[in-house]
Amino acid sequence: MPFVAAIRRAAIGAILALLATSALADDPGRAAIASPHQAATAAAQQVLQQGGNAFDAAVAISAALAVVEPYGSGLGGGGFFLLRESGDTPRYAFLDARERAPAAARADMYLKDGKVQPGLSINGPLAAAIPGLPQALADLAASHGRLPLKDSLAPAIRLANQGFAVDRIYRDRATMRLNALRDDAESARLFLAANEVPALGTVIRQPELAVTLQGLAVHGRDGFYRGPLARRLVDGVRQAGGIWTLDDLAGYRTAWREPLRYPLAEQRELISSPPPSAGGIALAQSLAMLQRLPWQSAEPVQRSHYVIEVLRRAYRDRGLLGDPDYVGNPINRLLARHYLTGLADSIDVRQATPSSALPPSPAWREGDHTTHFSVIDAQGNAVSATLSVNLPFGAAFSVPGTGLVLNNEMDDFAADPGGSNSYGLAGSQANAVAAGKRPLSSMSPTFIESPGQFASFGTPGGSRIPSMVLLSVMGFLEGRPVAEWPATPRYHHQYLPDVVEHEPGTFSARQKTELEERGYRLRDVGRQYGNQQVLYWDKAGGTMEAASDPRGVGQATVVD
């Protein structure tokens, strides 16, 4: 009997071990958060501790960032949410909360005598598209959350009332947009101190924003897109020269889309953003081309050569893309194996390919400052989200009495399909202004998943987003420490202009010389850029890690 009992105990132990291993593959048992601000990370922790899941935490983070990062995102903007729903077979979803052009928008609205008037699509209410973030928060809570929307918004409401301290990132962004903020009395009141950039440590309180958040918490989407707040928003915009209507707000809807999925080597799969993001396609194309090149064994200059050339080719195709509700996107052709093989094979191993030597492509345009976060809960649900108001502090126009600074995402459209936007990026017919249309974007919240691993990536940075995410993904593919992924020195090529942009110190003097000898023009942008937030789950080893970009002031944490 003792022998039989021992056999039984051994058998039960083996079964339990097998079940534990199986559960581990789908259930990390720990949560992880990586966000660009410690207040947002704290908000997510509070919600998770109250029994919320990753989707509730995403609502809490987004709302908290709307308070502490008015220069990067907010209720007056929009964004993309990439979702992972845990299970024996994970399910993925993509919530498109990109802003939409007002119904009165038209293709020539920023032209005068045939010439673009750039200020109109950058500063003031005419630059603002209809915001999508409030609807997205309501949608996430209703469709995927465990907690009521009001519980997930509570940390942000407290934060808006109590205030937050100005940090170096806030000062940097406010300095960039100081003149525009000064030109709008309400923005100056909310975000400046005596018409100057606030000193470090200055406490910014936003009671009007707290009331706006409270209306969303109590009434859901109708607390923003209908009723008294909607009337106040429309009145404020129109009195200042904008074209919003109550119907524009009432008619706004987010869109649930199928994420872009692309198989990689070693049973890995890229899950990323579909149009109206161009970023996911650029990432898939770049990784597919790199798989045909010996980049992992290449010395640094040769590796940079490969990366620059795949980015050149991937960005060339961007001008073909636009809002899928308005234009056809040739995704199958752009991701076809034979097409990508041909692109990879066209790369000269030693010399730069001049962009002018490639077949011409429709031109495109882009915006810049955004924010990003990643979160995964103890059940394996995850969110990677990139949010934006476009330029720092958006249109630098705030609607009096609401606490809301509006986006200037209309500048992401092709105001002049033959010209360019504030970032020197040319436009295309696929991305021309049209009523109700969503502008093209590079925002690229991204997952990579395999049977044994899961990783989440994303960053702000406008047109440079896909190149930044690519460099971090390469760190993951090489097995480098997680903390190194967002810290990787950055460089970028986007087809046109035919220039390699890079952070200070990315290349040594010798490497610069070698790259120039290969035919590259280099441009030091004079500052660090991006603010990446990443997660890593080793399913087999049962470990969870998170990392926040050292360029920012964010906080990454793993929570038991």
| CA 192 to centroid of chain Cα atoms | 26
- Contacts for 509 with CB less than 8 Å, ≥ 6 apart: none
Tell me, what's the pLDDT at 112? 79
Higher pLDDT, 494 or 415: 494
Other residues' Cβ atoms within 10 Å of the Cβ of residue 296: 10
Residue-level pLDDT at 420: 47
Confidence tier at 261 by pLDDT (50, 70, 90): very high
Phi, psi of 64 (to 5 degrees): -65, -40
pLDDT classification of 428: cutoffs 50, 70, 90 = low
pLDDT over 90 at 365, yes or no: no
Rg, C-alpha atoms of the chain: 23
98 carries a ligand binding annotation:
yes
**What does each C-alpha distance from 131 to 65, 244, 365, 406 come to in angstroms?**
15, 11, 20, 8
Lowest mean pLDDT among 81-90, 414-423, 488-497: 414-423
Active-site residue numbers? 370
Residue spans of the domains in the chain: they are 31-75+100-256+390-408
Tens digit of pLDDT for each residue in 95-138?
Answer: 999 999 999 999 888 887 777 787 888 999 999 999 999 999 99
Q: Is 316 annotated as a binding residue?
A: no
389 is in an annotated binding site: yes
Mean pLDDT score across all residues of the chain: 92
Q: Output the six-digit token pair for 167.
A: 């940090």
The DSSP line for 213-239 is HHHHHHHTTHHHHSHHHHHHHHHHHHH
Q: What percent of the chain has pLDDT over 90?
A: 85
47 has binding-site annotation: no
Q: Are 272 and 280 in contact (CB under 8 A)?
A: yes
CA–CA distance, 15 with 91 (Å, rounded to integer): 27
The pLDDT of residue 215 is above 80: yes
Per-residue pLDDT, 364: 63
Residue 501 pLDDT level (bands cut at 50, 70, 90): very high
Q: Is 390 annotated as a binding residue?
A: yes
3-state SS assignment for residue 355: helix
- Of the candidates 383, 414, 124, the residue with the CA atom closest to the CA atom of residue 271: 383
Confidence of residue 418 (pLDDT cuts 50, 70, 90): low
The answer to whether the beta carbons of residues 449 and 146 sit under 8 Å apart is no
pLDDT digits (tens, 9 = 90+) for 322-342: 999 999 999 999 999 999 999
Average pLDDT rounded to a whole number, residues 170-184: 98
pLDDT at 213: 98
Across 388-414, average pLDDT: 94
